[in-house]
A and B are shown apart, each in its own frame.
Chain A
Amino acid sequence: MSDSFADDIIAFLPNLRRFALSLCRQADLADDLVQITVERAFRGRDQFDPATRLDAWLFRILRNAWIDMVRRKKTQGIEIDIDDAADARVVDGTQTVETSLMLQSAKQAMAELPDDQREVMMLICVEEMSYKEAAQILDAPIGTVMSRLSRARITIAKKLGINAAPARSSDSEQE
């Protein structure tokens, strides 16, 4: 197999780290998740279909590793204190106050979303996955992904003061 597999993974490390941080909201745990993802990716590299996006495949592995962590915590008392989350990185002080406030507000609004809405926001709005790719990563129907995504964006728009609330919801709620 091509050695580019490792290079490609390294190229996605920042994205993996960012997604991991959005899930667990602790920098040290996020790095642990990334390392576990790397190990599992090499172990199962034959499972990767080169016709698909490597980052989508890696996100799926990372999310499953996170689920393992959470379930381990539930059964073994391993501490994952997401309430002490050190999510927001320090905003660059050279940016304008307005921009900084907007960025901080957006991150704050993301942090306050339910977990299932935040992860779909990260995948689609930040990591630029398609609805179908996000659905495969999350093992969820596309309708569910769209429902979570829609509600998350309406919530965030309200918190950021972006225009009026939408007038109509879909009947396609699947949760």
Chain B
Amino acid sequence: MADAMFTDEELMAYADKELPDDRAALIDMALLEDAALSDRLAVFTGSKEAVAEAYGGDLGDGVPNYLVAHVRKVQAEHAGAGDEPSNVQKMPVDVPQPANADRRPLWQLPAAAAVALAVGLGAGMMIMQPIEQAQQNGLQVAAFDDPEIMDALGRMASGTDITFESGNRFSVISTFQDGDGSLCREFEYDQASGKTVVSVVCHEGGVWDVQFAVTATAADDSGYAPASSLETLDAYLSSTGAQLPMSPEAEAAALAAIR
């Protein structure tokens, strides 16, 4: 019986015109003599038609003017930069999943009351040393000489976190290469005091060199970095040619290589 010759997926692909021609021709022939096969096919054609029709009318609602206005506003913000080559990395067709798919946590959180910024830009703010400049500016960026942090940076996978005995929480957001090919990691350090540091460090000369650090008092009780600090980070990453986050496998290999 022809009915049993074809799987559900094949019949569905036939209904969707996605089945290779040779296999589709066999179904063409089988449908002529097998009513049961026609019934099975109707499951896939009928369900698609019903759902397409049910949602088809939604497009007729139009979209709110503010959404169109939002596109124009974003377009205007990007105007002028359009002729410049972007330093955003070209995404390959089959892009590997980043080790932490949640590395762009930009969505609606309360705006920070105050965000203080310290950017090293490779100027030598070694993680082994106190960030004197930052502290002179009143920033308690982080206890970056803490061996626990250095150990965590060298071994923790992106998307994981650890809470130290001090109550401070350390979470690795992503691992990537900067424009110069250095291995970099983005992390958040949520201090028990309520301060949160979002930082990017790159591994150079055997040490983690602070490239970017922004500290903020959380705008609510969450203890997490508020959105404004993350927007600053996003701008920083764009400006430095940061590549796409590494896949878990690439990240593990890169971390093993520097041990």
Chain B proximity of A18: nearest CB distance (Å) = 5
Chain B proximity of A160: nearest CB distance (Å) = 6
The answer for the CA separation of A107 and B53 in the assembled complex, in Å, is: 10
Cβ of B44: which chain A residues have Cβ within 8 Å of it?
150, 153, 157
State which of A35, A89, A125, A146 has its C-beta within 8 Å of the C-beta of B58. A89
The answer for the CA separation of A44 and B64 in the assembled complex, in Å, is: 24
| A13 contacts chain B at the CB level, 8 A cutoff | yes
Cβ of A86: which chain B residues have Cβ within 8 Å of it?
none
| A54 contacts chain B at the CB level, 8 A cutoff | no
- Contact, CB under 8 Å: A106 / B54: yes
A contact residues, total (Cβ < 8 Å)? 77
| B86 contacts chain A at the CB level, 8 A cutoff | yes
B contact residues, total (Cβ < 8 Å)? 67
Contact with A along B82-103 (1 / 0, CB 8 A): 1101101111011001000110
Closest to B238 in A: A43
- Contact, CB under 8 Å: B13 / A131: yes
The answer for the CA separation of A42 and B9 in the assembled complex, in Å, is: 37
With A110-B54, A146-B13 as contacts: A163 and B75 at CB distance below 8 Å: no
- Contact, CB under 8 Å: B90 / A68: no
The answer for the CA separation of A156 and B102 in the assembled complex, in Å, is: 32
Chain B proximity of A157: nearest CB distance (Å) = 4
With A68-B105, A166-B8 as contacts: A77 and B90 at CB distance below 8 Å: no
Beyond contacts A14-B62, A126-B55, A167-B40: 16 other A-B pairs, Cβ-Cβ < 8 A, are A5-B75, A6-B72, A6-B74, A10-B68, A10-B71, A13-B68, A14-B63, A42-B74, A65-B107, A110-B51, A124-B16, A130-B18, A150-B12, A154-B47, A157-B44, A169-B7
Interchain Cβ contacts under 8 Å between A and B, 22 examples = A5-B75, A6-B74, A6-B75, A13-B68, A17-B63, A38-B70, A42-B77, A47-B89, A92-B57, A103-B57, A106-B50, A131-B13, A153-B12, A154-B43, A154-B47, A156-B51, A160-B50, A162-B42, A164-B36, A164-B40, A166-B40, A170-B9
Residues of A within 8 A of B (CB): 1, 3, 5-6, 9-10, 13-15, 17-18, 21-22, 31-32, 34-36, 38-40, 42-47, 49, 64-65, 67-69, 71-72, 75-78, 89, 92, 102-104, 106-107, 110, 121-122, 124-126, 130-131, 136, 139, 146-147, 149-150, 152-154, 156-157, 160, 162-172
